[in-house]
A and B are shown apart, each in its own frame.
Chain A
Amino acid sequence: MLIRDYIRASSLEEASERYAAGGYILFAGGTDLMVKARGKKWYQDKTFLDISGLQELKEIREEENFLCVGAAVTLTELEENREVRERLPLLYEAVRSVGSTQIRNRATLAGNLANACPASDCIPALVTLGAQVEVYGGKGKRVIPAEQIFRECRACLRHSGMHVRTCYYSDPTEKKLILEPGEMICGIRIPFPKPGTGHWFYKLTQNRTIGMAVMNLSMTVEPDERGKARRIRLSAGGIFPRPVCLETVRGKNAGKSLREACLEQAVNAIEQEKDLLADYPYKRRVFPELIEEGLEALLPDGEEDS
């Protein structure tokens, strides 16, 4: 592995100052960075700036209707957190599906987001839930909706398997997120869904590998006051050049049922990317199947009215 140096940050301010000055790569769990550093010489002039020890980034706390997850919180810590398990089951399942126990013990939610891989398991879940990203920089903190933080990255979709080892980007935070120079992710705020919201997470893989998904799907169905499905939100990994949330609301679908409208929207979205997916006919073919499976699970029979 080739890096110039490795240091531990002593405070968020110090980390931010150094990061803004250049020459540093933010390092939390390192499960992506260490893989990239092994095969390539991308970081021989860079210093890994380890923020995983910063106490202020290690908290999971409830704030109004949000769960706030610090940038140094590992996926295992989330998996073991009762609030996550009980009140954010979609995120819980997405987190549990990442890599192996060893990976989740090191990897962070913020790192998963910062690596901005289109096949990430957590990003679609965060986008579906309407999560917000807390960013810290020279001008202080700001909050960006998760769905809006990503740049489109078409090259990634041509990347077979989307493995970390063969990733095209040395610093996705810089290239694939819309952050200003020196800005860093310090936390993620996830709103708790309305009570009664149904969720569906599915990771499609060839075998029960610890590797990347071929595709994944995150979906929520929010009920109205009478408990009837009102709004479907979904996001998928492995198939779009930028994480998108597709939302379908009952009664706004020109006479189509919620289910039909949801499916149609998804099919249209994927058709727009058909050139990009030219080498992956399977993904285009199967994406609606994944959604149908989710809808079957989440929409009980007799919900077919418009």
Chain B
Amino acid sequence: MMKEIEFTLNGTRTRTETQPGERLLDLLRERLGLTGTKEGCGIGSCGACTVILDGKAVNACLVPAQAVDGRELVTIEGIMQNESLHPIQDALIRHHAIQCGFCTPGLVMSAKALLDENPDPSRGEIQRAIAGNLCRCTGYEQVIEAIQDAAKGGKTQC
């Protein structure tokens, strides 16, 4: 029982089929080939599938695909402008805040959602904003520093 939905995906009106029971995560990865959004737990615990829906970070594993009909979605594939990195991405690289990289897209999306609303967050606010993004490699410290740096204009040389 396929249903058609239409939504804005990374700035482009997108029309696609989906079926009941399909998660937004499945829609992105399997139907649309956007594999930057990852599945780490399937239950909203790890944040590897974080995307931005109507300006808010959400776990794509907990959103039915049909629920995005008519809404605006941004994924990791949609945050570069003209092939240049988003300041958060740039800061993560400079701060060595990436290791295996599996959690990285989700972290980037959580950080972006934070900075879009709060351009000058405290360390504590950053920690809270990314507490739903588990990372086993980095121990978070360099990630937190990178987000702070991105918020301050991304000038720290590391």
Q: Which A positions have Cβ atoms within 8 angstroms of B? A: 1-6, 8, 27, 30-31, 34-35, 37-38, 47-48, 50, 52, 76, 99-103, 105-106, 164-165, 208, 210-211
Whether the Cβ atoms of A2 and B57 lie closer than 8 Å is no
Instruction: Provide the residues of chain B in CB contact with A52, threshold 8 Å.
Output: 67
Whether the Cβ atoms of A76 and B56 lie closer than 8 Å is yes
Min C-beta distance of A124 to chain B, whole Å:
21
Besides A37-B21, A48-B64, A103-B62, 20 more A-B contacts (Cβ < 8 Å) are A1-B22, A3-B21, A5-B1, A8-B69, A31-B62, A34-B62, A34-B63, A38-B43, A38-B61, A48-B20, A50-B64, A100-B44, A100-B47, A100-B131, A102-B47, A102-B132, A103-B59, A105-B58, A164-B43, A165-B43
Sample 20 A-B pairs with CB under 8 A, ordered by A number: A5-B1, A8-B69, A31-B62, A34-B61, A34-B62, A34-B63, A47-B20, A48-B20, A48-B64, A50-B67, A101-B114, A101-B128, A101-B130, A101-B132, A102-B44, A102-B59, A103-B59, A165-B43, A210-B132, A211-B45
- Flag whether B112 is at the interface (Cβ < 8 A): no
Within 8 A of A (CB), among B3-40: 20-23
Whether the Cβ atoms of B50 and A102 lie closer than 8 Å is yes
- Flag whether B75 is at the interface (Cβ < 8 A): no
Instruction: Provide the residues of chain B in CB contact with A164, threshold 8 Å.
Output: 43
Min C-beta distance of A115 to chain B, whole Å:
13
Bound Cα distance A211, B46 (Å) = 11
Number of B residues near A (Cβ < 8 Å) is 32
What secondary structure prevails in chain A residues at the interface with B?
Answer: mixed
Whether the Cβ atoms of B132 and A30 lie closer than 8 Å is no
Whether the Cβ atoms of A103 and B132 lie closer than 8 Å is yes
Whether the Cβ atoms of B128 and A30 lie closer than 8 Å is no
Bound Cα distance A100, B22 (Å) = 23
Instruction: Select which of B1, B42, B64, B110 is within 8 A of A102 by beta carbon.
Output: B110
Chain A, Cβ-Cβ closest to B42: A38
Bound Cα distance A50, B64 (Å) = 10
Instruction: Select which of A2, A47, A101, A210 is within 8 A of B45 by beta carbon.
Output: A210
From known contacts A2-B21, A30-B62, infer whether A101 and B131 are also in contact, taking CB-CB under 8 Å.
Answer: yes
Chain B, Cβ-Cβ closest to A31: B62
- Flag whether B104 is at the interface (Cβ < 8 A): no
From known contacts A6-B67, A30-B67, A210-B132, infer whether A106 and B20 are also in contact, taking CB-CB under 8 Å.
Answer: no
